[in-house]
Chains A and B, each alone.
Chain A
Amino acid sequence: MSNAFKVGQRVLVKDGDPPGHIRTPFFLRGKSGVVETVHGEFRNPEELAYGKEGLPKKPLYLVRFLQVEVWADYRGAPGDTVSADIYEHWLDAE
């Protein structure tokens, strides 16, 4: 597998609001996080959603974010985190 990012690497989620079926939550776009897990390669849901094959497969990562860096007024503990599975084409190296 040719994953661009490795466990422990800092990544930045792309900003933007392209049309169509997108599985990158709005609240994480433009946020900076750390790769926790490299899940492997999967077909692209953005294309599968429209009857296309979704190939070539793309690497999928579990990325972890500090809540205080995601929400301006986070009221929980400073160590709290949120993680989500994000496709490689939605990530840039930081």
Chain B
Amino acid sequence: MAHHHDHDHDDHAPIEEGKAPSEFDLLEQAIRELLIEKNVFSADDLRRQVDRIDSVSPADGAKVVAKAWSDPAFKAQLLSDPKTAIEALGYDVGPAPNLVVLENTDGLHHVVVCTLCSCYPRVLLGPPPDWYKSKEYRGRVVIDPRGVLTEFGTQLDAAVEIKVVDSTADMRYLVLPPRPADTEGMSEEQLAALVTRDCMVGVTFPDSPSN
């Protein structure tokens, strides 16, 4: 009787101690080793890139938002020429893609998606969360944004225009959420603590100081 070995079911699990590697684990190793052997890149290059991935997080976007809330001139520049504004803070936007900052107000609420893949403003937020890349989010937020926002705990009046922005080209969109009430006199650092990743995508509001 023939045994049918199916290696596919474990392919989503990361490699664990003592566990046989999946085909994906082996493929990554094979490709990485061969590319290094062929001098396409070096092991040091790879290590440096891995470090860079973790070097940007939503805390970076939060600092930019907090500064925009505190400094009207910076906010104006952030909206009109975001690349220059954040390069002045030391971020390297690179040659492309281009950053666009979308201001959420009482009457207009942007929420960002990439229905075609997973484009995301990594330069200020780091890698996107799983839900942003999921077929559930990408499929539904364009057709039922209010339903999706409700799932995130966000309710908006019918008088507010919800604008879903689909990042289909080289623009990367970051939401500038509204400054919460009762935050007068707070420092930029205190304000930044209220700015979550999700409110810079547009699925939630920033935290309020009473939380």
Residues of A within 8 A of B (CB): 23-25, 27, 39, 42, 45, 60, 62, 64, 67, 71, 74-77, 79-87
Contacts and interface: CB of A to CB of B under 8 A. Distances in A.
Interface of B: 98, 115-116, 142-147, 158-171
Contact of A25 (B98, B115, B147, B171): B115
A1 to B, nearest CB: 15
Nearest to B167: A85
28 contacts: A23-B116, A23-B168, A25-B116, A27-B115, A27-B143, A39-B171, A45-B169, A64-B163, A74-B143, A75-B146, A75-B147, A76-B144, A76-B162, A77-B158, A77-B161, A80-B162, A81-B161, A81-B162, A82-B165, A82-B166, A83-B164, A83-B165, A84-B165, A84-B168, A85-B168, A85-B169, A85-B171, A87-B169
B112 to A, nearest CB: 10
Contacts of A82: 142, 163-166
A27 B139 CA distance: 11
List the 8 shortest-distance A-B pairs measured between CB atoms, nearest first. A85-B169, A77-B158, A84-B166, A82-B164, A79-B161, A76-B146, A81-B163, A80-B162
Contacts of B142: 25, 27, 82
Nearest to A77: B158
B168 A77 contact: no
A39 to B, nearest CB: 6
A77 B160 contact: yes
Nearest to B169: A85
B171 A62 contact: yes
Given A62-B171, A75-B144, A25 B166 contact: yes
Nearest to B147: A75
A76 B116 CA distance: 23
Contacts of B115: 25, 27
